[in-house]
């Protein structure tokens, strides 16, 4: 930095809305050469010393020189972000209406350790001594030493001659020599001992050797896709791609082929996957292809592991980084491509304070760095698919066929309306039971899928399957039994509940989520002696059990796996021939406009678990709504019709992609206060934001009470999200100080529950 920059703009590391701007500090002449954007500093702030981040330098300040304070100290020798990353940080902060300080966090070494760790680099790291022989010194000294008395030293030297550099402990162990012998040699400079940073035992450490590379010849669809992407890799230019291809169509092979091109250009790649459970599979495929330059980076590693990995990536030890959403912030230099697998997955949404969508952050980063961004899915999100059609710098690449197997799926529905509830079980119907028995008799495996988001507060007609909906929002009413009223949890409209279906006049029933234990015990009664495994978040919260359950399920012979959303993703098991879907209606009825899309994606994904190899796959879906258009599209495996229909629905009520939504949730322990707050907020928003937006609410959130907290929300549909964001930021700055209630701002929510 030139000597003329006398001032630095600095963000203070405090999460508070009212100090959400940069402060000017004087650069003392002694620190001048150390100051740079992206560096961490210590500064005086309100009678304390705080950590700050330099976001700019300049030679003039509006603030009088006598009011300015000096930077105390620069921490670390390298900046943790550069001006391009800063551009991304600024964008995230503005777009998602969050303090810049909260966004910077994503870019720092993990675990908040930077305060200590960057000052004393060794904290949290493991070091190990390595010994090597200095041959020159040895040759000079060897004649002066009486090796007979020093036989222990001789052993060390012989060992090092053969082995080269070795860890000290290993050397001592293998030679049986003492530390004093080693120290003697080191003292004369004959051997040198150096400290090297050790990685902890990573769960995904490069194993080497392993299985051989597959020699795959890409088919014409794959070649076409790789060619299109490579075009932009060669041009070093920004472009978006959506690869749409069913499970097994060879998307991962396309990603790998693109990565090869990236490595040839001496650049790096980030590959994102929505779930931690999917990283090992992806890692092992990439590792087989690219060897030790591939690493995994995600939030379920221990803090120390993540910190080490972060440093490794920073120090350019890896070329391909595979991870979940936080990996988009990994300190990768010369990034050449960003790839997002399973683009449609709602797990790409960060659920904490800064509610970013990884897809949009990736796209923005791609734009800033001028590099291609590739997304892939069998069932693209409606928004992404629409953008791929509309936007000039977005290309849709179709891969319509499976790469290897020719197996096919047989989809059928069981119409729950026609089940005689007095004679037949509605949890597992006769048809599903029979099918399970048939497949088990053939020594095949069965997966039973249950929806996790069980939701009981709505009514459904047992005769025609219809669910009463709010006419304004086209979303199901929530039943409030205390007042016997139907309430729309979006706009707050209410309606009397008569107990009769408004469509056909028959009696309505309440639909309760079916518990996974109940399904398990029913199956255990019927199929004695057959392994019946269960995978849901209760069982799999322990780190390893997920893998153990899978192992049991995969072992040869018949078995049944019952599970929630987790079983839908990424399992690749040969012998599964039947997938039963128990309760998708409770999901379809959730008052969230995303639900059609989620159900389509989920059932398609879980169906893909059947018939992966040569065997035919069967899928049986139990539903009250076999005639609904989503169900029909699912049964016919017709994404295109689903997409067109869904797009038309959304257009009518201007849901995304025809608008952007912002969901503002106020929550707190005292409902009266929550209501009062949200009404004030609503009044303020309605006063400031008028044109081009429609404001819904305030209404109780669909999940109205969570963990003792009452939740109310306001939804804004906007045609100009950036302008809305600016205005909201101004309003929220005032409301942030709103007593004990919490305000969450969710821009482009993926759930509105």
Do the beta carbons of residue 44 and residue 36 sit within 8 Å?
Answer: no
Do the beta carbons of residue 79 and residue 36 sit within 8 Å?
Answer: yes
Query: Which of ligand ADP, Zn ion, none is residue 490 near (CB under 5 to 8 Å by kind)?
Result: Zn ion
Query: Which of ligand ADP, Zn ion, none is residue 249 near (CB under 5 to 8 Å by kind)?
Result: ligand ADP
List beta partners, residue 620. 412, 580
Q: What is the smallest separation between the CB atom of 400 and ligand ADP, expressed in angstroms?
A: 11
Residues that bind Zn ion (CB under 5 A): 470, 472-473, 488, 490-491, 493
Query: Which of ligand ADP, Zn ion, none is residue 93 near (CB under 5 to 8 Å by kind)?
Result: none
Do the beta carbons of residue 80 and residue 39 sit within 8 Å?
Answer: yes
Residues that bind ligand ADP (CB under 6 A): 214, 216-219, 222, 245, 247-253, 403-404
Q: What is the smallest separation between the CB atom of 571 and ligand ADP, expressed in angstroms?
A: 12
User: Phi and psi (nearest 5°) for 589?
Assistant: -85, -5
Q: What is the three-class DSSP state of 692?
A: coil
Query: Which of ligand ADP, Zn ion, none is residue 491 near (CB under 5 to 8 Å by kind)?
Result: Zn ion
Q: What is the smallest separation between the CB atom of 484 and Zn ion, expressed in angstroms?
A: 18
The DSSP code for 616 is: -
Query: Which of ligand ADP, Zn ion, none is residue 219 near (CB under 5 to 8 Å by kind)?
Result: ligand ADP
Q: What is the smallest separation between the CB atom of 742 and Zn ion, expressed in angstroms?
A: 24
Q: What is the smallest separation between the CB atom of 21 and ligand ADP, expressed in angstroms?
A: 45
Q: Pick between residue 222 and residue 718 the one whose CB is nearest to ligand ADP.
A: 222
Q: Pick between residue 38 and residue 248 the one whose CB is nearest to ligand ADP.
A: 248
Q: Pick between residue 200 and residue 615 the one whose CB is nearest to ligand ADP.
A: 615
**Length in residues, the chain:** 753
Our CA angle for 105, 383, 465, nearest 5°, is 115
Q: Pick between residue 468 and residue 617 the one whose CB is nearest to ligand ADP.
A: 617
Our CA angle for 590, 591, 597, nearest 5°, is 65
Residues 6+ apart with CB under 8 A from 482: none
Query: Which of ligand ADP, Zn ion, none is residue 247 near (CB under 5 to 8 Å by kind)?
Result: ligand ADP
Tokens of 300: 């379920």
The residue with tokens 């002696």 is 529
Burial class (CB within 10 angstroms; exposed 0-12, middle 13-18, buried 19+) of 350? middle
Closest CA relative to residue 5, chosen from 56, 41, 39: 56
Query: Which of Zn ion, ligand ADP, none is residue 493 near (CB under 5 to 8 Å by kind)?
Result: Zn ion
Query: Which of ligand ADP, Zn ion, none is residue 472 near (CB under 5 to 8 Å by kind)?
Result: Zn ion
Q: Pick between residue 55 and residue 247 the one whose CB is nearest to ligand ADP.
A: 247
Query: Which of Zn ion, ligand ADP, none is residue 470 near (CB under 5 to 8 Å by kind)?
Result: Zn ion
User: Phi and psi (nearest 5°) for 494?
Assistant: -125, 160
Q: What is the smallest separation between the CB atom of 608 and ligand ADP, expressed in angstroms?
A: 8
HEC letters along 355-404: CCEHHHHHHHHHHHHCCEEEEEECCCCHHHHHHHHHCCCEEEEEECCCCC
Burial class (CB within 10 angstroms; exposed 0-12, middle 13-18, buried 19+) of 538? exposed
Do the beta carbons of residue 705 and residue 669 sit within 8 Å?
Answer: no
Q: Pick between residue 146 and residue 220 the one whose CB is nearest to ligand ADP.
A: 220
Q: What is the three-class DSSP state of 508?
A: strand
Q: Pick between residue 577 and residue 605 the one whose CB is nearest to ligand ADP.
A: 605
Q: What is the smallest separation between the CB atom of 570 and ligand ADP, expressed in angstroms?
A: 9
Instruction: Supply the angle between the helices 83-95 and 721-735 in degrees, to the nearest 10.
Output: 80
Q: Which long-range contacts (CB under 8 A, 24 or more apart) does 311-316 make?
A: 311/109, 311/125, 312/199, 314/78
Q: Pick between residue 453 and residue 493 the one whose CB is nearest to Zn ion.
A: 493
Helix, strand, coil shares, percent, the chain, to 5: 40, 25, 40
Query: Which of Zn ion, ligand ADP, none is residue 473 near (CB under 5 to 8 Å by kind)?
Result: Zn ion
CA distance 584 to 453: 10
Q: What is the smallest separation between the CB atom of 466 and Zn ion, expressed in angstroms?
A: 17
Query: Which of ligand ADP, Zn ion, none is residue 404 near (CB under 5 to 8 Å by kind)?
Result: ligand ADP
Query: Which of Zn ion, ligand ADP, none is residue 223 near (CB under 5 to 8 Å by kind)?
Result: none
The separation between CA 29 and the C-alpha centre of its own chain, rounded to angstroms, equals 44
Q: Pick between residue 252 and residue 324 the one whose CB is nearest to ligand ADP.
A: 252
Q: What is the smallest separation between the CB atom of 250 and ligand ADP, expressed in angstroms?
A: 3
Closest CA relative to residue 383, chosen from 355, 326, 345, 338: 345
Q: Pick between residue 76 and residue 656 the one whose CB is nearest to Zn ion.
A: 656
The pairing of beta strand 576-581 with beta strand 617-623 = parallel
Q: Pick between residue 251 and residue 355 the one whose CB is nearest to ligand ADP.
A: 251
Q: What is the smallest separation between the CB atom of 298 and Zn ion, expressed in angstroms?
A: 38
Q: Pick between residue 38 and residue 700 the one whose CB is nearest to Zn ion.
A: 700
Q: What is the smallest separation between the CB atom of 503 and Zn ion, expressed in angstroms?
A: 18
Q: Pick between residue 490 and residue 609 the one whose CB is nearest to Zn ion.
A: 490
Q: Pick between residue 414 and residue 665 the one whose CB is nearest to Zn ion.
A: 665
Q: What is the smallest separation between the CB atom of 347 and ligand ADP, expressed in angstroms?
A: 17
Q: Pick between residue 718 and residue 741 the one whose CB is nearest to Zn ion.
A: 718
Query: Which of Zn ion, ligand ADP, none is residue 552 near (CB under 5 to 8 Å by kind)?
Result: none
Q: What is the three-class DSSP state of 224?
A: helix
Q: What is the smallest separation between the CB atom of 316 and Zn ion, expressed in angstroms?
A: 53
Q: Pick between residue 53 and residue 600 the one whose CB is nearest to ligand ADP.
A: 600
The DSSP code for 168 is: H
Q: What is the DSSP string of 50-113?
A: EEEEEEEEES--SS-GGG--B--EEESSS-SS-HHHHHHHHHHHHHTT--HHHHHGGGSPGGGT
Query: Which of Zn ion, ligand ADP, none is residue 681 near (CB under 5 to 8 Å by kind)?
Result: none
CA distance 666 to 741: 7
Torsion of CA 217, 219, 224, 225, to 10 degrees: -80
CA distance 454 to 444: 29
Query: Which of ligand ADP, Zn ion, none is residue 253 near (CB under 5 to 8 Å by kind)?
Result: ligand ADP
Query: Which of Zn ion, ligand ADP, none is residue 321 near (CB under 5 to 8 Å by kind)?
Result: none
Q: What is the smallest separation between the CB atom of 491 and Zn ion, expressed in angstroms?
A: 4
Q: What is the smallest separation between the CB atom of 685 and ligand ADP, expressed in angstroms?
A: 44
Q: What is the smallest separation between the CB atom of 214 and ligand ADP, expressed in angstroms?
A: 6
């Amino acid at each position: 930095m030139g000597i003329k920059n006398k001032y630095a703009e600095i963000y203070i590391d405090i999460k508070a809305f009212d100090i959400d701007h940069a402060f000017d500090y004087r650069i003392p002449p002694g620190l001048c050469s150390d100051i740079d954007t992206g560096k961490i500093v210590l500064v005086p702030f309100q009678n304390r010393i705080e950590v700050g981040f330099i976001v700019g330098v300049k030679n003039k300040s509006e603030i009088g020189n006598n009011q300015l304070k000096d930077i105390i100290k620069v921490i670390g020798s390298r900046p943790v972000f550069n001006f391009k990353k800063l551009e991304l940080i600024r964008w995230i902060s503005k777009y998602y209406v969050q303090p810049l300080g909260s966004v910077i966090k994503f870019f720092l070494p993990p675990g908040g350790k930077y305060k200590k760790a960057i000052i004393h680099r060794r904290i949290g790291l493991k070091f190990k001594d390595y010994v090597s022989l200095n041959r020159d010194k040895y040759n000079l000294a060897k004649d002066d030493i009486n090796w007979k008395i020093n036989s222990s030293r001789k052993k060390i030297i012989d060992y090092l001659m053969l082995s080269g550099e070795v860890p000290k402990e290993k050397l001592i162990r293998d030679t049986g020599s003492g530390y004093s012998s080693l120290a003697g040699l080191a003292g004369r400079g004959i051997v040198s001992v150096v400290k090297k940073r050790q990685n902890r035992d990573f769960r995904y450490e490069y194993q080497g050797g392993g299985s051989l590379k597959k020699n795959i010849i890409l088919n014409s669809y794959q070649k076409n896709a790789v060619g299109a992407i490579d075009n932009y890799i060669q041009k070093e230019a920004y472009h978006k791609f959506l690869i749409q291809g069913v499970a097994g169509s060879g998307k991962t092979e396309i990603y790998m082929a693109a990565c090869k091109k990236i490595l040839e250009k001496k650049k790096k790649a980030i590959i994102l996957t929505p779930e931690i459970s999917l990283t090992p599979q992806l890692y092992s495929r990439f590792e087989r292809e690219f060897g030790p330059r591939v690493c995994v980076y995600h939030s379920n590693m221990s803090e120390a592991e993540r910190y080490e990995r972060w440093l490794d990536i920073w120090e350019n030890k890896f070329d391909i980084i595979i991870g979940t959403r936080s990996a988009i912030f990994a300190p990768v230099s010369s990034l050449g491509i960003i790839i997002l697998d399973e683009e449609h997955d709602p797990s790409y949404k960060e659920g904490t304070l800064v509610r970013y969508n990884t897809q949009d952050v990736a796209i923005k980063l791609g734009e800033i760095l001028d590099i291609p961004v590739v997304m892939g899915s069998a069932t693209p999100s409606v928004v992404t698919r629409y953008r791929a059609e509309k936007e000039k710098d977005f290309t849709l690449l179709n891969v319509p066929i499976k790469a290897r197997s020719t197996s096919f799926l047989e989809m059928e529905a069981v119409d729950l309306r026609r089940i005689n509830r007095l004679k037949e079980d509605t949890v597992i119907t006769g048809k599903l039971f029979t099918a399970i028995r048939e497949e088990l008799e053939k020594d095949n495996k069965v997966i039973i899928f249950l929806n996790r988001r069980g939701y009981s507060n709505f009514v459904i007609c047992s005769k025609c399957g219809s669910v009463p909906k709010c006419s304004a929002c086209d979303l199901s009413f929530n039943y409030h039994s205390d007042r016997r009223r139907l309430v729309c949890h979006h706009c707050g409209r209410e309606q009397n509940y008569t107990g009769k279906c408004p469509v056909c006049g028959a009696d309505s029933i309440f639909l309760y989520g079916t518990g996974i234990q109940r399904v398990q015990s029913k199956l255990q009664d019927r199929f004695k002696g057959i392994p019946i495994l269960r995978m849901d978040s209760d069982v799999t919260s322990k780190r390893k059990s997920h893998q153990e359950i899978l192992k049991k399920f995969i072992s040869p012979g018949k078995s049944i796996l019952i599970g929630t959303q987790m079983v839908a993703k990424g399992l690749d098991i040969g012998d599964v021939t039947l997938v039963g879907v128990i309760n998708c209606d409770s999901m379809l009825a959730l008052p969230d406009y995303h639900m059609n899309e989620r159900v389509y994606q989920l059932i398609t994904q879980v169906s893909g678990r059947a018939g992966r190899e040569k065997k035919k796959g069967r899928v049986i879906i139990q539903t009250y709504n076999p005639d609904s258009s989503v169900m029909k599209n699912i049964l016919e495996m017709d994404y295109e019709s689903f997409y067109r229909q869904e797009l038309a629905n959304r257009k009518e009520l201007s849901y995304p992609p025809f608008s952007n939504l912002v969901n503002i949730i106020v929550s707190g322990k005292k409902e009266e206060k929550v209501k009062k707050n949200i009404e004030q907020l609503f009044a303020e928003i309605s006063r400031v934001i008028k044109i081009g937006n429609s404001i819904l609410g305030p209404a109780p959130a669909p999940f109205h009470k969570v963990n003792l907290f009452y939740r109310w929300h306001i939804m804004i549909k906007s045609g100009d999200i950036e302008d809305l964001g600016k205005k909201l930021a101004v309003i929220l700055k005032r409301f942030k100080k709103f007593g004990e209630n919490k305000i969450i701002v969710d821009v482009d929510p993926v759930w509105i529950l």
